[in-house]
Structure 1
Amino acid sequence: MKRSLPDSLLREGHPDHALLALLAAEITRRSGGPAALAQRFPAMLRQCIDDVIMTPKTGRRAYEELEKTEKTYIGTRVEIELRAMLDLPKGRLDTLILGRDVDIKNTMGNNWMIPTEAVDQPCILVAADEARACCYLGLIVARPEYLTAGQNKDAKKSLAAGGFAHILWLLRDHPYPANFWRNLAPEVVARIFAGKSGNQRMANLFREVQDRRVTRDVVAAVARQQDFMRRIRSDQGRGSRDLLAREGILLLCGHYDADLIKSLGLPHCGPSDFISHRPRAGNAVELAAEHGFLLGSAEREEAPNLPGF
């Protein structure tokens, strides 16, 4: 998305304000409130993109590596998932909100393509900026004067430069989960997935990627197994925790090891996140031991079975 966006003109007195304010309030209500929208929407968008990139199966690590048809499908997937997240029905356009037909447009670039049937209709505008890990969610009435004069071969038009000022933003330049694989070197990704078993791949992951939060979705993708959480636990000396402990590497869980993660000065991890760390200073090793981690061995009282993960 463009780095510099104009201030929105959507306020009382603007011809589109009343309608878009109503639609925005309904979207926010259906998402569970402003805080829930700010959390659920970015996660949904990240999942839509990652499910098409399919790093574990394809070895691809970025949106730019997708085929043209796959990039197009992301827009369809976002439309479907957004309707599901907000529990909205299909309409003559992409959805119905408060009885109004609304189109849903997604872009991974700098602009949206507006079809002829959406002109003069309200549109939900979705955008993801993979390079900066930012996302956008806005509303606009796609009036002809907001659109470019030129059109593509499908008669679709883009927003004109001045059209961006007529967007009512729900989320603008909002952080969303970065593509975990994007900034990993190809050789690192290859080493992670070279493991023949789930335990080996999991150990490779946390051996290669240390001091960085790893989400549950990444763990599932690497494990490639139904009971993927078993790979993350001690398992009678065979689990990833055991393998890494013998090498002097801690594998910590945001739910059970939050105090130790904080004490070691590691990045914050949510309850479903994980992080690995190799203590170097003596006091860090002692701190780990106080929390039950005996590095250099696999002897550690196993954490509970991580319910709800």
Structure 2
Amino acid sequence: MSDAHGIVTIDTGFQRPHFDAAYLIVENGRGAFVDCGTQHSIPAMLAALQSQRLSPADVDWLILTHVHLDHAGGAGALMRVLPNATLAVHPRGAPHMIDPEKLVAGATAVYGEEEIARSYGEIAPVPAERVRVVEDGDTIDLAGRTLLCIDTPGHARHHLCVWDERSRSWFTGDTFGLSYREFDNAAGEPFVIPTTSPVQFEPEPLKASIAAMLARNPDAMRLTHYGRVGDVVRLARDLVEQIDAMVALVRQAQGEADRHQWLVAALGELYISRAKAHGCTLSPDETRALLAIDIELNAQGLEIWLARQKHAERPVQVG
């Protein structure tokens, strides 16, 4: 069911319920998807259309916040069944949608072919003529409803966020972190943690991207992981505090014998303590279990970022 602003939150079914969301925006009988999950998510996307009495031919846009596979893996396959849609994507992400060979190779190297097929299905190309590159500040027209796209690096350099003035909300992809509903406190208030990426995490750009979104005084953020959250000023403050704490931990980890495992444990303790302070009733073991994948990815992202920083600071040898 859509909310008062014609926005449907779609559970893509990736990994577990209420883990990975896509969105359908409906305006004057036309639709736009924001992110799409994997090929396995297509039935849920089409069911969302049906719930709004729309057909695949009524979709004008598939907007990708970025091209990580839990957000965009099913884009090529979905576009095949959306005959009138244009794919809108960041300039750095467009080449990977037109030719996903590098995306597939990178993911296969990490997870293996069997796991890629199980979790993501086919990662199909999108014809170049159906792709619109969206620059910082560009707008998308959905049947008279203007959607503003801004460049939001920090989680990834090919990340954009989408502002919808009608609902006064941002579609944030991963820039505004992760807020799983299991961590809401008794008052229904959300908990949030930042999410890095294994190769492109940049803490200062991420904090700047968060500030840029706050500048519009949004009523809500619509996260991929997971759903609509309010109380955005508090959550933004929490994210910035945690980004700084995470950077401090990865620097401290360099003095440890097993740096990676030390960092994984330290990040777990950071999130557990903050969840408890928030009023989350999950046990420490339950918190670790729900965040296990995210903790591992955050540790990898932090370590790669620090290695890149050290390389940049290395003095140049002359002669």
Scaled by the length of structure 1, the TM-score of the pair is 0.27
- Work out which of the two has the higher radius of gyration on C-alpha atoms and give 1 or 2: 1
